[in-house]
Amino acid sequence: MTQGSIVRQDDGATARSGEVIRERGQREVFCGLTGIVWLHRKIQDAFFLVVGSRTCAHLIQSAAGVMIFAEPRFATAIIGERDLAGLADLNDELDREVNKLLARRPDIKLLFLVGSCPSEVIKLDLSRAAERLSTIHMPDVRVLNFSGSGIETTFTQGEDACLASLVPEMPALADDARELLVVGALADIVEDQFRTLFDEIGIDNVRFLPPQKAGDLAAVGPGTRYMLAQPFLGDTARALDERGAEYVPAPFPIGVHGTTGWFKAAAREFGIDESKVDTVTETRRARARLALERYRSELAGKRIFFFPDSQLEVPLARFVAAELDMELIEVGTPYLHRQHLEAELEALPPATQLSEGQDVEKQLDRARAAGPDIVVCGLGLANPLEAEGITTKWSIELLFTPIHGYEQAADCAELFARPLRRKQRLVI
Ligand code: SF4
């Protein structure tokens, strides 16, 4: 078991429903704290204070790798064992640490208290702590909380919980305003490219969640139309629905097809003819297709097996099948959100074997029996599979690498090609 991952066991049930294998058994996943690794880079004046154990601290430190910032934007408050009487002290300690941190770091404008799964932390009411600390530190610093706990979550749900915690903080959108909100952390370079494209298409009232600065939180209301940039944001979507915003169904902007479909959905919603998207994106599409050409010749016919991990599996499967001619053996995802994945599911090759949830041993057996050329899976499974001679790709890398949009389509393909090339070199 990899540090920071948990293996769960319940009734081991496997059910086939239509083409989908549904499993509820032992699962191998990373926890939501992992999301801090990309979120702290995205919201530049935010700080993530994990309230957790030494394991949580190790996970964050090793997942984040070498710190490149003069001042880190995350830390762990390590909580030892306490009885109930000790919880009052714990709140005092937390307040003291937060006060010290904020006094030393006036650059922090948004502080997240991030819950974790050790029992001592679960006993602590972090939402009340966040409220209490917000009262003290507002208006300079807003204090929010969310859970990065590994219980019943996948590692991308940390971002979902973080963004969902921001939604109640969003101001109300003026009654007569109409805005497009892009939801999901994108690399800054991708965000810039998307802004330019929206602008060229003729949609200029576009906002992004999360914002790059805490003070730039978009307004939200019935005039908001929101598009998901990531497929793992169910709670955030629900919170936006509750604020009156409306979801714009679309594929995810991964690969040429997905990106074009995503921008066309935005254009339709704003009354702009789809042909405008074709015109604006023509050169970019041609460039991306050309860049993908060499990967297609390398990857065509290669058989790929997705284990459920990041929730990006379905859009990625659609991309590798449609644009790289790879053959899908099984596409596993932790949760199959049919509404958000509708366009993706329609674009998968007919009879694609989907699976939702996991019974890890059974799934490993299926993977071994199928003899895939490459397996996409979490870190916990990658090493054992590599030891068996099966080539793997860590699904977490697909979160750390910019893969959205036309300019990044080839980079996304490279992530699948590289491990196969390395394997080939080792065999030769
Ligand atoms: S939140 Fe839970 S699963 Fe994640 S590192 Fe901490 S103890 Fe481990």
Q: Which helix (H) or strand (E) holds 218?
A: none
CB of residue 310 inside a 6 A radius of ligand 1: no
The set of residues, in sequence order, having a beta carbon less than 8 Å from that of 156 and lying 6+ positions away, is 32, 34, 35, 230, 232, 310, 311, 312, 399
CA distance 274 to 276: 5
Q: How close is the Cα of 169 to the center of ligand 1, in Å?
A: 27
DSSP state for residue 173 in the 8-state scheme: P
Q: How close is the Cα of 112 to the center of ligand 1, in Å?
A: 17
Across 389-406, average pLDDT: 94
pLDDT of residue 3: 39
Residues 313-330 have pLDDT tens digits of 999 999 999 999 999 999
Nearest to 84 by CA among 37, 127, 120: 120
More confident residue, 306 or 117: 306
Average pLDDT over the chain, rounded to an integer? 91
CB of residue 336 inside a 6 A radius of ligand 1: no
Q: Which of these ranges, 59-63, 153-157, 275-279, 390-394, has the smallest mean pLDDT?
A: 59-63
Alpha carbons within 13 A on the beta-carbon side of 223 = 14
Residue 110 above 80 pLDDT?
yes
pLDDT of residue 428: 60
Q: How close is the Cα of 150 to the center of ligand 1, in Å?
A: 5
**Residue whose entry in the numeric block shows the structure tokens 């490279």:** 414
Tell me the best of 56, 113, 396 to mutate to test the pocket of ligand 1, counting ligand atoms within 8 Å of each CB and taking the most.
56
CA distance 368 to 272: 49
Q: How close is the Cα of 117 to the center of ligand 1, in Å?
A: 6
CB of residue 116 inside a 6 A radius of ligand 1: yes
CB of residue 59 inside a 6 A radius of ligand 1: yes
Portion of the chain with pLDDT greater than 70, in percent = 92
Residues 21-60 have pLDDT tens digits of 999 888 877 889 999 989 998 999 999 999 998 999 988 8
Cα dihedral: 190, 193, 198, 201 (round 10): -140
The runs of H, that is alpha helices, within 114-205 are 119-123, 126-137, 157-166, 188-201
CB of residue 183 inside a 6 A radius of ligand 1: no
**Helices (H) then strands (E): counts for the chain:** 16, 17
What structural domains does the chain harbor?
A: 32-149 (3.40.50.1980), 179-276 (3.40.50.1980), 291-427 (3.40.50.1980)
CB of residue 380 inside a 6 A radius of ligand 1: no
pTM recorded for the entire structure: 0.93
Both tokens assigned to 121: 């932390």
339 backbone dihedrals φ, ψ, rounded to 5°: -65, -50
Q: Which of these ranges, 77-81, 96-100, 139-143, 276-280, has the smallest mean pLDDT?
A: 77-81
Q: Whose CA is nearest to atom 2 of ligand 1?
A: 117
pLDDT of residue 69: 55
